[in-house]
Chains A and B, each alone.
Chain A
């Protein structure tokens, strides 16, 4: 077996100690870690730039579309306002009380030997009902029964178009005056009728006297 003599023992030991220098190793680790952090930062910076370009594109789109959206919003609000107003106006129009059919019914009820001298009528609040006061005179052998016939006729006629019809005498008294009807002298009675009813859904506008007078809705 050959004999090996290590004459550089001290130099080799120093070299090994230099290679295992913890400071040097630490610096190398630190440099490596620093490089990793730098790369990680660059990766994040790249992602941020990409997101920034996406944001710019989205904002460009938004700037382009924003005036149209604002106009559309405004138009929607305007249209909704128109729809609501039209609906409210239609509701008002529909809930009106039509007087012409009422006057027509009253005129149909008055018999030839009775006369109306006054009519006072008003629509109660929020179109809940109609209150009418009819004043007049009736002539006949039994003038009170003529007035009663008028009351019955009013109940019958108004009941066909309205609901909750009430017709009551507020006053019915004989008059001293004698009137000549068809060559016969007849006594007279003075009456005051209170008429109340609800303007129900059956109330409709009067028939048109001419073709042009059809109701425009």
Chain B
């Protein structure tokens, strides 16, 4: 059976239909299915991202709880070290404290002067400052001085004596003139 012969009018209609079909496909994929698929893909990526954040956040919260338990000693120790120094400018409270301390060890006339202060280079100690003090004890006897220094080193863990000068007094050989250079670490407040 031979295919039916198409008239010119029919061929034109077929050609227009074919063009219309192609246009329809273009519109369908470009303006309907394409945006829909893109928005779905974007939403899937967002879901994945949020889900991974949620999973990570659960781990993070577990880590925080676990770290809180582990850091209990460190936080207590940190609080204790912070509590060693009162608030306010160190120049206001350090010299009187030192004077009282040595007076309690029968060493009178103790004078503490601030030599200099410097920030730490270490990032972990960025909140702390090192103060260098010159402590002058014009009249001290060696035994009292030894006891006082031992007590000072034991009760002031953030204080470190870096230089010590002891000289006998000419007229009073039982006494010495003592100069101490001490570095103390004090939190910035």
Contacts and interface: CB of A to CB of B under 8 A. Distances in A.
Lowest 6 CB-CB distances: which A-B pairs, in order? A100-B150, A206-B150, A69-B57, A72-B64, A84-B124, A119-B166
Given A89-B158, A103-B142, A206-B149, 8 more contacts: A48-B39, A79-B71, A79-B75, A89-B81, A92-B185, A103-B145, A207-B150, A216-B157
Contacts of A62: 50, 53-54
A80 B185 CA distance: 20
Nearest to B79: A82
Interface stretch (B29-37, B93-101, B110-118): B29-37
Contacts of B53: 62, 69
Contacts of B125: 85, 88-89
Interface of B: 4, 6, 10, 13-14, 17, 21, 24, 28, 32-33, 36-37, 39-40, 43-44, 46-47, 50-51, 53-54, 57, 60-61, 63-64, 67-68, 71, 74-75, 77-78, 81, 122, 124-125, 127-128, 142, 145-147, 149-151, 153-155, 157-158, 160-168, 173, 181, 185
Interface size class for chain A?
A: 35 or more
Contacts of A54: 47
Q: Chain B binding site: helix, strand, loop or mixed by DSSP?
A: helix
Contacts of B63: 72, 76
A99 B154 contact: no
B50 A59 contact: yes
A156 interface: no
Q: Chain A binding site: helix, strand, loop or mixed by DSSP?
A: helix
B54 A73 contact: no
Contacts of A122: 162-164, 181
B75 A20 contact: no
A137 to B, nearest CB: 10
B50 A58 contact: yes
A82 B71 contact: yes
Nearest to A133: B165
Interface stretch (A1-9, A37-45, A158-166): A37-45
Contacts of B21: 30, 33
A34 B64 contact: no
Contacts of B64: 72-73, 75-76, 79
Contacts of A180: none
B43 A48 contact: yes
B151 A209 contact: yes
Given A69-B57, A85-B78, A98-B153, A80 B67 contact: yes
Nearest to B25: A37
A85 B124 contact: yes
Contacts of A21: 10
A209 B143 CA distance: 12
A137 B81 CA distance: 44
A155 B35 CA distance: 89
Contacts of A120: 164-166
A118 B166 contact: yes
Given A54-B47, A69-B60, A75-B68, A44 B142 contact: no
B95 to A, nearest CB: 20
Contacts of A115: 173
A40 B181 CA distance: 86
A121 B164 contact: yes
Contacts of B36: 41, 44-45, 48
Interface in A23-68: 23, 26-27, 30, 33-34, 37, 40-41, 44-45, 47-48, 51-52, 54-55, 58-59, 61-62, 65-66, 68
Contacts of B162: 122-123
B2 to A, nearest CB: 12
